[in-house]
Amino acid sequence: MARRIPPRDVELTWVGKRGGPGATALLEQTACLRTVERVPGTAGPALSCDVAAPPNRLLLGDNLAALAALYSTLEGRVDLVLVDLPFASGSEYRVPLRLGRDSGGRGAGVLVAYRDVWGPGLSGYLAMLEPRLRLLHGLLSERGSAYVHVDQRASAVVRLLLEEVFGRESFVNEIVWAYRTGGTPGRLGFSRKHDTVLFFAKDPTRALFFPQQERSRLSHRYGFKNVVIHTDDLGPYTWVRCRDVVEVPALRGNQPERVDYPTQKPEALYERFVLASTEPGSLVVDCFMGSGTALVAAERHGRRWVGCDASPLAVAAARKRLLALPVRRPFEVAIVEQDGTFGVVPEPPRVRARAIFEGGGVRVELEGIGYERPEALPAEVRFTPEVSADFVDSWAVGWDCPDGVASADWVACRTRAVRELPFVSPPHVYARSGLHELVVSVLDVFGGRGETRLSVEVGR
């Protein structure tokens, strides 16, 4: 039975506020999720989770429509909502454009990942945020929690909005993530060196919570009784319950974890929240996923997940990070469609590939890509067929796709460290003779997806 949220004595208002409909009133969104790729899992320990649950999913599209489409299957089943919200900065966030083997991008410029612009003041921002928070609240199980990451520009109003959606008594912590980079002020003010993560529980009396521990450094070895003191290279310390101040360094440009996606957060930060408020098999939802840090943390620790973002570059970055994990469960990539259409996506590449029969196996060669309207590509780049391989960021082969949905049975990706990309797959040996339908799919440097189908007949 759902817990009743008591009446409010304080309410946040803004220009154009509609009066706070319940989650069910927001389900007028007519959206569906069209699967465009299946990614097989890799070997690893079995996870304790509901076998009837939907697969892990990466969703490309508007998250309001995505949440509405997911509502009928996920209502009351999510144990953790972990979202790094737009900060109402009014800024445009960009990623470097890297072509081919050149890790520096050949001076090709930058691509816009997303625009954090919602209208004048905070009214447009809050109007965007409110219905999404209401749907997320409805998806949470009675033991579920939400961690909402913001900064000083919107933390005060977002907390008031969360109190309106969850109830004031559902507030648990205002967690401070303290770091040392960025935040240099102008003439007035202290350097800004922290973000805020607002922690709310749907029902504080039933919420999952597993206290995490951290090292507490000691200036010398005190003579406390019943306190175990450890020592490492930095000196003596004890283990204590984690504080509401998290000191995890922000990512720097030379760290292997970094994927050059703007606003990427360190995995160690979100790992703490995943471990504290879920158990193996719990479902984690991040509908502002960016480069997928919350999903990677969930995957590493045996949690199920659903991630969504409107930026094709974000979905491409998250997919690549998940593919790089040595152990992972299967997941799907899907597009959020409304009335048969979906949001702004890049010009899809046209894929040219051929099958090569070699001994008892089949290889696939990616011959190149093209564009129906190359003039629609960003003005900073000049595309010609001779350099088409430089525009391929990753490609995959599904060896048996009878329903036409691509499968990443074999996949190759460029990374920041490794820019070389093979354009011929290893040989695949079919266990059964007959006709097989292959799908060769490509993600280009703009986050666009293209594919082609090949038919091969073996064993006759």
Closest CA to 427 of 389, 399, 460, 387: 399
Identify whether the C-beta of residue 231 lies closer than 8 Å to the C-beta of residue 237: yes
**Is residue 15 one of the residues assigned to a domain?**
no
Last residue of a domain, one of 288, 317, 338: 338
Does one domain contain both 202 and 105?
A: yes
- Same-domain pairing of 208 and 83: yes
Token pair listed for 295 = 């999903």
Is residue 156 domain-shared with residue 269, that is, in the same domain? yes
Q: Which residues contact 352 (CB under 8 A, 6 or more apart)?
A: 366, 367, 368, 369, 370, 452
Dist. CA 56–CA 46, nearest whole Å? 15
In a domain, 326, yes or no: yes
Same domain flag for 258 and 358: no
pLDDT for position 143: 98
Instruction: State whether 382 and 321 are in the same domain.
Output: no
Q: Same domain for 356 and 273?
A: no
The structural domain count of the chain equals 2
| pLDDT (0 to 100) of residue 392 | 96
Same domain, 307 and 403: no
Per-residue pLDDT, 402: 93
Q: Do residues 117 and 123 touch, judged by C-beta distance below 8 A? A: no
State pTM to two decimals. 0.92
- Last residue of a domain, which of 312, 338, 364? 338
Q: Is there a single domain that holds both residue 278 and residue 328?
A: yes
pLDDT score, position 44:
58
Please, what's the b/e burial string for 168-186 (b: 16 or more CB within 10 A of its CB; e: otherwise)?
A: bebbbeebebebeeebeee
- SS3 string of 396-454? EEECCCCCCCEECCEEEECCCCCCCCCCECCCECCCCCEEEEEEEEEEECCCCEEEEEE
Token duo for residue 265: 């957060």
**CA dihedral sign, ordered 90, 57, 339, 444:** positive
CA distance 293 to 269: 9
* CATH number of the domain within which 372 lies: 2.60.40.10
| Of 276, 307, 338, the domain-final residue | 338
The answer to the question of residue 9 being in a domain is no
399 within some domain? yes
Structure tokens at 406: 């691509």
Are 46 and 131 members of one domain?
A: yes
Tell me, yes or no, whether 314 and 404 share the same domain. no
Structural domain boundaries enclosing 400: 350-458
The reply to whether 404 and 287 lie within a common domain is no
Q: Is residue 254 one of the residues assigned to a domain?
A: yes
What is residue 276's three-state secondary structure?
helix
431 and 385 fall within a common domain: yes
Q: Determine, yes or no, domain membership for 6.
A: no
The verdict on residue 180 lying in a domain is: yes
CATH number, domain with residue 261: 3.40.50.150
In a domain, 19, yes or no: no
pLDDT tens across the length of the chain (460 residues): 556 666 667 889 998 887 655 555 666 667 899 999 999 998 655 454 455 566 899 999 999 999 999 999 999 999 999 999 999 999 999 999 989 887 654 456 889 999 999 988 899 999 999 999 999 999 999 999 999 999 999 999 999 999 999 999 999 999 999 998 877 777 888 889 999 999 999 999 999 999 999 888 887 666 666 778 888 888 888 889 999 999 999 998 788 899 989 999 999 999 999 999 999 999 999 999 999 999 999 999 999 999 999 999 999 999 999 999 999 999 999 999 986 554 556 789 999 999 999 888 999 999 999 999 888 887 777 788 888 999 999 999 999 999 999 999 999 999 988 999 999 999 999 999 999 999 999 999 999 999 999 999 987 6
**Token duo for residue 333:** 């990539």
